[in-house]
């Protein structure tokens, strides 16, 4: 059987290496994973209770429209439930948007170093991806605006940007939204928004009524700690969400995921605690990187991208052999690694081992 020609050479998304695989590969008993921006503090205990309560219902299909979760999230966000769509992580919402709106030859704009799933899904739909270079690790909105043509259908803005962790401000976003043509959808990916403490960060939900072409993506995978359950969501105008719903598969989020998300949403104390712990972790890592003479991008998510002044891939391999998993392999930043913020103990171990690895690199030069 012959596959579609346009998917043959598509790069396959490479997740962070699983802990179990690293243990087997290097004969290690303890491994610290700081590669996938997971919440090191897990999820709300109320979410765990909700999952257990659902175990007796595993023979039943989930609510295909996630109606109860939609109502609770809509109330929490201050929007209408018709403005929300759920997916198997926000990754699926990205795929649904491209399926609903991109046709062969359409153009879509994104940063040149951002979440790779935007481009891979555009490629599947045979759209043309215009990759605009970041400016100091941050979205260059003026350059992205200049790249818009009559064929542009979607602009992707990852805020905070993955992998650099930088943000654009509300004023910058407003200027962009005022200038971008109304026929262009602007997808604002805010997967890490709950970690942000910067007061200039956009209050994006209040912009939905003003800009019909704005769609916001968020997830329960990050600060809520439900990555394994794969549940994310998009918010936009009701008619836009309805069009995206047209291409959604039935039962795309499971019963345990919906139940856990409802419970997690109600436990904002857990969210606040994780936010503060993460901020302390960022401060610690930045202070240590300063001491070590390593540059890094301003971190606003739950990760930090740091220049190790040598091959990021080599440092990744050395750290891996010592039981610490980070993320390398950034085409535009080959000397950088991305490090998820862990617990205080994990962060200290990372710094200890990273110093050893960089000393070894210097001694061999």
Q: Which residues pair with 339 in a beta bridge?
A: 304
Cα–Cα–Cα angle for 182, 235, 267, rounded to 5 degrees: 155
**How do the pLDDT tens digits run along the chain, 365 residues long?**
656 667 656 666 566 667 888 888 878 878 999 999 999 999 999 999 999 999 999 999 999 999 999 999 999 999 999 999 999 999 999 999 999 999 999 999 999 999 999 999 999 999 999 999 999 999 999 999 999 999 999 999 999 999 999 999 999 999 999 999 999 999 999 999 999 999 999 999 999 999 999 999 999 999 999 999 999 999 999 999 999 999 999 999 999 999 999 999 999 999 999 999 999 999 999 999 999 999 999 999 999 999 999 999 999 999 999 999 999 999 999 999 999 999 999 999 999 999 999 998 777 65
Chain mean position to CA 312: 21
Q: Single out the residue of 170, 260, 166, 171 nearest to residue 221, CA to CA.
A: 260
Tokens (6 digits) for 224: 């809520």
So what's the pLDDT on residue 2?
Answer: 57
C-alpha dist (Å) from residue 78 to 70, 168, 201, 221: 12, 23, 18, 21
CA distance 67 to 313: 45
For residue 190, the model assigns a pLDDT of 98
Q: Can you give the pTM of this predicted structure?
A: 0.94
Angle (CA) 356-291-32 rounded to 5° is 45
Nearest by Cα to 184 from 120, 127, 102: 102
Q: Which pLDDT does position 19 carry in this prediction? A: 86
Assess if CATH 2.160.20.10 describes domain 16-42+269-364. no
Return the SS3 of 271.
helix
Architecture of the CATH domain 45-266: 3-Layer(aba) Sandwich (3.40)
- Boundaries of every domain in the chain: 16-42+269-364, 45-266
């Amino acid at each position: 059987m012959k596959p579609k020609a346009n998917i043959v050479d598509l790069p396959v998304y490479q997740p962070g290496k699983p802990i179990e695989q690293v243990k087997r590969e290097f004969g290690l008993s303890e491994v610290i994973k700081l590669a996938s921006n997971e919440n090191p503090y897990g999820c709300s205990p109320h979410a765990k209770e909700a999952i257990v309560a659902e175990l007796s219902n595993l023979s039943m299909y989930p609510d295909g429209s996630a109606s109860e979760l939609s109502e609770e999230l809509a109330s929490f966000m201050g929007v209408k439930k018709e403005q929300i769509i759920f997916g198997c992580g926000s990754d699926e919402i990205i795929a649904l948007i491209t399926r609903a709106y991109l046709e062969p030859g359409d153009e879509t704009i994104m940063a040149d170093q951002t979440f790779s799933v935007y481009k891979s899904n555009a490629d599947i739909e045979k759209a043309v991806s215009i990759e605009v270079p970041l400016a100091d690790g941050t979205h260059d909105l003026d350059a992205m605006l200049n790249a818009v043509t009559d064929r542009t259908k979607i602009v992707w803005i990852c805020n905070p940007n993955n992998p650099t962790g930088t943000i654009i401000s509300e004023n910058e976003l407003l200027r962009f939204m005022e200038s971008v043509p109304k026929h262009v959808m602007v997808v604002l990916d805010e997967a890490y928004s709950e970690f942000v403490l910067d007061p200039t960060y956009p209050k994006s939900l209040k912009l939905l009524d003003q800009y019909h072409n704005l769609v916001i993506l968020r997830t329960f995978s990050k600060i809520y700690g439900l990555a394994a359950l794969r549940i994310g969501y998009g918010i936009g105008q009701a008619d836009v969400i309805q069009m995206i719903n047209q291409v959604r598969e039935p039962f795309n989020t499971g019963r345990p995921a919906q139940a856990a998300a409802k419970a997690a949403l109600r436990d904002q104390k857990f969210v606040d605690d994780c936010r503060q712990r993460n901020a302390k972790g960022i401060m610690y890592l930045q202070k240590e990187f300063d001491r070590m003479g390593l540059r890094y991008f301003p971190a606003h998510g739950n990760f930090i991208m740091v220049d190790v002044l040598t091959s990021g891939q080599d440092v990744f391999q050395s750290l891996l052999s010592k039981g610490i998993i980070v993320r390398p392999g950034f085409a535009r930043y080959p000397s950088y690694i991305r490090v998820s913020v862990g617990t205080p103990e994990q962060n200290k171990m990372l710094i200890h081992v990273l110093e050893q690895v960089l000393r070894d690199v210097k001694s061999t030069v």
